[in-house]
Every structure is written in C-alpha cells, then in structure tokens.
Amino acid sequence: MFGQCLVFVVLSTLRLTLVNDDPSHNQFRGHILKNNGKYEIVTSLFDSYKETDSKMDNILATGFWNQNYNITGWSVLEIKTSENQTNIDQVYAAGLLEGQFTRELTGMQWQNTINEICFNRTDFCGKLKKFFLIQLNWIYTQIDSHPNDDYWHQINLLLVQLNGLIDGNQNMSRGPRK
C-alpha cells in the first residue's frame, strides 16, 4: 500500500513539473537586428514579446520557438528571414536565432550524448579535432577557389548558418566569418 502511494505521489509531482498549465511559459518569440554592422539578439517569453515592424530595414530574421518537448516529445521552431537582406545576413541571422532559442535543448543533448567522449581520451580527441580542422580548412579553400560556383556558394552559406547557430548557442553574435 505504501509503495503504491509513493509511486502515485512521485508520478503526480512529475506530471505537475512537466505539464505547465500556461503554455506561454514554453513559447518564445524573437528577432535579429543589424545596426551599424553589429547583430543584436532580441528574445523573450511569448506573452511579453514586443512585436516589431517586420518591414524595418534592420530586421534580418524573426522567429517562434515552442519548447513542448516535455509534454509532446516535440519542439516547434519557425524562423523567417527578410528577403531584402543579403544571403549571408539571412543565413547567419537564422542560425543565430535558432542557436539562441535551442540553447537549453542543445546543452541537454550534449550532456546526454557527447560530453563523456573525450573524458580521459585527450590523445584521441586531439587527433579527431585536428582531422576535422583539416577537413574544414579544405572546404574553405574550395570556397575561396570557386567564388562563382553555385555549389560552393551554398556550402559557404551552410557554414555561415552553422557559425550563427554556434554564436546563438553561446549567447554572442560575432557576425559571419570563416
């Protein structure tokens, strides 16, 4: 009898922890601005977000993040970029906003899957990092060597978006780079 009661209390507490009656506490909105060459991340809870005029010249991207993974097993991410901006600014801003929104979830994924890989394996991880840097440098060499090639242009955009994602995840905005 006591064991069944304890299980019920634990499950009831877990249910209260995971299911928030106010869905706005799991929903976020945000945008990326560019002023004088600097990128600014603006995010907040859905219900306290101040709507901006999406036609403003300095808004690169707007987004919505619904982090209901504890309730439904899914999260929803929606990002829109301004077609009036350069491809580089659009993909960097999209990555920046995605990284900012998904920081917590990405951190949990890192802890659950990758965090222990290099523990007490510095020799292996040093070689692995060197291998990846060699590959990345080769890709950048190809991008620089083929400035008018559509394929390498798309690869560059992918890497710029990845840099934005990394910056957003680290809560900084260094701008597009190689």
* pLDDT tens per residue across span 135-153: 999 999 999 999 999 999 9
Look up tokens 């978006």; give the residue: 161
Q: What's residue 44's pLDDT? A: 62
pTM of the model: 0.77
Look up tokens 């249910």; give the residue: 15
Dihedral of CA atoms 76, 81, 86, 88 in degrees, nearest 10, equals -10
Alpha carbon distance 101, 105 (integer Å): 9
Residue type, 64: F
Alpha carbon distance 50, 86 (integer Å): 25
User: Residue 137 domain-assigned?
Assistant: no
User: Residue 152 domain-assigned?
Assistant: yes
Q: What's residue 3's pLDDT? A: 43
User: Residue 82 domain-assigned?
Assistant: yes
Dihedral of CA atoms 133, 138, 141, 142 in degrees, nearest 10, equals -140
Residue that wins the pLDDT comparison between 28 and 84: 84
Alpha carbon distance 127, 137 (integer Å): 15
Alpha carbon distance 164, 178 (integer Å): 11
User: Residue 176 domain-assigned?
Assistant: no
What is the pLDDT averaged over residues 72-90? 92
User: Residue 178 domain-assigned?
Assistant: no
Domain membership of residue 52 as a residue range: 2-115+146-169
User: Residue 139 domain-assigned?
Assistant: no
What is the pLDDT averaged over residues 118-145? 91
Q: What's residue 131's pLDDT? A: 96
Examine the pLDDT at 91 and tell me if it is beyond 80.
yes
Average pLDDT over the chain reads 81
User: Residue 59 domain-assigned?
Assistant: yes
Residue 46 pLDDT grade (very low, low, confident, very high; cuts 50, 70, 90): low
User: Residue 120 domain-assigned?
Assistant: no
How many domains are contained in the chain?
Answer: 1
